[in-house]
Structure 1
Amino acid sequence: MIRLLICLYAALLPIFAMAQPSRGAYLARAGDCVACHTAGTEGAPFAGGLPINSPFGIIYSTNITPDLETGIGHYTLEDFSRALRDGVAKGGKRLYPAMPYASFTAITDSDVRALYDYFMKEVKPVRRRPPETRLPFPFNQRWTLLFWDMLFVSHERYKPHQDRDADWNRGAYLVQSLGHCGACHTPRGLAFQEKGYTEASPFYLTGAVVDNWFAANLTGAPASGLGRFSEEAISSFLGTGHSDVGVVFGNMVEVIENSTKYLRQQDLKSIAHYLKSLPARAESASFKPTAPAVAAELSAIVTGEIERPGVGIYQSFCAKCHKATGEGEADKFPRLAGNPSVLARNPTSLIHLTLQGGEITQTQNGPNSEKMPSFAQKLSDPEIAEVLSFIRNTWGNIAPPVTTREVSSLRKALRR
């Protein structure tokens, strides 16, 4: 019997090995490399050519398959490490910081080796030469990036904090290095540098505008951040795109679909553990659902006894899904009462969703996908500003109103 079990184990072992990704493949998922280095749904994975918008012009991602002519097949481990962690390609050409090497510089040597082995041995080589990046002068002078690098990049590997537990350190490492969360969630300075790369900075992960979306505040801010949500809710959101934290939308959809939904549960828990340790920062709103006036106001809205600006538009276009109470419907339509995205200091994402609509991502362990329609043709700029201001200041939500100018500016930007 024992011999039979040993033989069965030996026969099934290759199948189990094939089902499990290699360490390098897993790390590439954690780094979401495929998102930037794949030209849309029609492009070959990692073959580059994705146009990345920057304030200085379009930057095209490179081919990082092991093709010898157009990819990185001729890179040594040292070449690979220098490009990944120092922002310098083979031959000495400096990479634009659209490639987040300022975060990747914290990746450990062993993880760099695993990534190198994955890209050289497991990724299929693709012969494709992406369009060449041609920025206007003086941004086409790549040598000047040396000074940018000297000013803003530390070039230090992640060092565990001895006063923190293993989960915290694992979460900090994933967030700060491979996950490069700050690339979207940390505001930029005048030189387009992130204003902080670790929790030591008061600006780190406090939210920023990226491609006409506002990447959320990930600090412990109680209204617009993660202060009111448990570690379990945060890890569930990263794994499925749904939880008490809210529902995924915008650029974060790709992050979850390409990266975080593939992470091990323990890594998701570690990330949540680290994020929950961040103090509240950059808060400009509040959520007070138990205030005495809230219940009376809600009753009056539901019964139609009062007519506040925006309430009629909300009842006509929004209440069917999000309910008059702002509670939404679990696993289908997100709640608006206390939603951090609703209470964000910058309403860009809220305006974007109203103008263009959106679709809730579908993940393996999440609920069915739902769509939000576009209201760009149904509502004017003043009407959108009015209804969003109503949403940001009802059910205990207290946030700055949305202006007609903000709606108009984003509508024009989305038409370009």
Structure 2
Amino acid sequence: MPYTSYAGITDDDIDALYAYFTAAVAPIEQKNRQNTVGFPFNIRLGMIFWNALYLDKTTFHPNPQEPAQVARGRYLVENLEHCGTCHTPRTMFMGPKKGRELAGSVLGPWYAPNITSDKTSGIADWSDEDLRNYLTNGHALNKGQAAGPMAEAVENSTQFLSKDDVDSIIAYLRRVPAVAGDDKQPRTSFGLKTRPESTLRGLTTANNTGWKIFSGSCASCHQPDGEGVNVYPPLTHNSATGSTNAQNLVTTILAGVQRKTADTTIFMPAFGPAALWVNRLSDQDIADVSNFVLKTFGNPSVQIDASYVAKRRAELAQ
């Protein structure tokens, strides 16, 4: 519950939310679940000290020196849309790291990437239209696709924003101070390195397990050379395959993608424990196909093993 972000919501917006919840949302009776949070986090008294460190109760006010559009974007990003709840890294006490706002953070098996104005690790190479498409459709060609928690955010929130509000978010993100990451080049800059389908298919000596899995389970949608087709995105120039963090690639294979917007419904089957229409892949299978995708279409400096996949699988189960 991102109450630290909501604390800055204006009184008028709080009143509007209250009116909506009380008048337009049907009540549903549900028994309270038992508290299973482990010690010491199950002691609510501890929130007094955490709030003293990290809770700012100041209501949002525009800064005199910022344009109205940027002020509106800051209000949406920092408060109503609470983007930093996922995209800002945390301290050991789970408070936001100062000076690292929106610089990227781990969310269980997923990774919320750097969305600062950094030219290498951030979104400086995303055009306004890229960002507009991503926020409204969850898809920006040759940049990225929303999956996991971000797919939920697009499906349930950002696709319903007005064009003015989307443009305000973009205007504000352009002004977010750049924070460098571990990337050596922009994660969307990696192109096709080889054409394995045309060179390996039919060879009895071919011993590339990752390619075999890709050819049998992935190529029909993403195409043999990873160029994508229709709603299925290319694997080159893709933030999931070009990142120094392979979590989103692996977790997408494990969990699949389901995202519905006004324009289209996107579906990718899960190859992990929830697989229904496709063969379940083992941890080693997913490591092999991920390494093949990274070497062929994405960031070849990133390679993983089965234990990495097993950890993502366990995090998904939680």
TM bucket by the smaller chain?
0.7 to 0.9
Cα distance in structure 2, aligned partners of 1:180 and 1:288: 24
1:212 — aligned with what? Answer: 109
Return the letter of the residue paired with 1:153: L
Deviations 1:190-226 (A, max 9, x none): 1122224xxxx2x222222224222232223456642
Aligned equivalent of 1:334, options 206, 214, 233: 233
Q: Does 1:239 align with 2:136?
A: yes
Q: Is the 8 A contact 1:232 1:272 kept in 2?
A: no
Deviations 1:217-269 (A, max 9, x none): 22234566423211222122211222223222112222222211221111111
Which aligned pairs between 1:96-107 and structure 2 lie closer than 5 A?
99-107=1-9
Deviations 1:55-90 (A, max 9, x none): xxxxxxxxxxxxxxxxxxxxxxxxxxxxxxxxxxxx
Return the letter of the residue paired with 2:81: G
2:43 — aligned with what? Answer: 141
Q: Is the 8 A contact 1:186 1:208 kept in 2?
A: yes
Q: Does 1:318 align with 2:218?
A: yes
Give the fraction of aligned pairs with identical amino acids, expressed as a percent.
32
1:298 — aligned with what? Answer: 194
Return the letter of the residue paired with 2:134: F
Displacement after TM superposition at 1:352 (Å): 1.5
Cα gap change, 1:161 to 1:409, in 2 (>3 Å): same
Displacement after TM superposition at 1:177 (Å): 0.5
Displacement after TM superposition at 1:304 (Å): 0.9
Q: Does 1:152 align with 2:51?
A: no
Cα distance in structure 2, aligned partners of 1:403 and 1:136: 30
Displacement after TM superposition at 1:314 (Å): 2.8
2:125 — aligned with what? Answer: 228
Which aligned pairs between 1:13-52 and structure 2 lie closer than 5 A?
none
Q: Is the 8 A contact 1:224 1:341 kept in 2?
A: no
Which aligned pairs between 1:86-235 and structure 2 lie closer than 5 A?
99-126=1-28, 128=30, 130-131=32-33, 133=35, 135-196=37-98, 201=99, 203-222=100-119, 225-235=122-132
Q: Is the 8 A contact 1:232 1:269 kept in 2?
A: no
Cα gap change, 1:241 to 1:221, in 2 (>3 Å): same
Give the unaligned 5+ runs of structure 1: 1-98
Cα gap change, 1:288 to 1:215, in 2 (>3 Å): closer
Q: Does 1:343 align with 2:238?
A: no
Q: Does 1:355 align with 2:254?
A: yes
Higher RCO (Cα < 8 Å, 6 or more apart)? 2
Cα gap change, 1:136 to 1:211, in 2 (>3 Å): closer
Return the letter of the residue paired with 2:241: V
Deviates more, 1:372-381 or 1:144-153: 372-381
Displacement after TM superposition at 1:129 (Å): 5.1
Cα distance in structure 2, aligned partners of 1:160 and 1:392: 43
Displacement after TM superposition at 1:103 (Å): 1.0
Cα gap change, 1:414 to 1:187, in 2 (>3 Å): same
RMSD: 3.0
User: How many positions carry a matched residue from both structures?
Assistant: 306
Cα distance in structure 2, aligned partners of 1:370 and 1:134: 33
Q: Alignment partner of 1:342: what SS? A: helix
Cα distance in structure 2, aligned partners of 1:383 and 1:404: 8
Deviates more, 1:346-355 or 1:307-316: 307-316
Aligned equivalent of 1:393, options 289, 295, 313: 295
Give the unaligned 5+ runs of structure 2: 201-205, 274-278
Return the letter of the residue paired with 2:268: K
Deviates more, 1:249-258 or 1:280-289: 280-289
Runs of 4+ in 1 over 6 A off after TM superposition: 288-291, 305-309
Q: Alignment partner of 1:394: what SS? A: helix
Displacement after TM superposition at 1:101 (Å): 1.5
2:175 — aligned with what? Answer: 277
Q: Alignment partner of 2:76: what SS? A: helix
Displacement after TM superposition at 1:273 (Å): 2.1
Displacement after TM superposition at 1:121 (Å): 4.2
Q: Is the 8 A contact 1:343 1:399 kept in 2?
A: no
Q: Alignment partner of 2:242: what SS? A: coil
Displacement after TM superposition at 1:106 (Å): 1.7
Q: When the two structures are superposed, what TM-score results if normalisation uses the length of structure 1?
A: 0.65
Cα gap change, 1:286 to 1:326, in 2 (>3 Å): farther
Q: Is the 8 A contact 1:358 1:374 kept in 2?
A: no
Cα distance in structure 1, aligned partners of 2:43 and 2:270: 44
2:284 — aligned with what? Answer: 382
Displacement after TM superposition at 1:333 (Å): 0.7
Cα gap change, 1:281 to 1:157, in 2 (>3 Å): farther
Cα gap change, 1:169 to 1:415, in 2 (>3 Å): closer
Q: Is the 8 A contact 1:217 1:344 kept in 2?
A: no
Return the letter of the residue paired with 1:357: G
Deviations 1:274-310 (A, max 9, x none): 223332532425359989xx77x435x3531798773
Q: Alignment partner of 2:226: what SS? A: coil
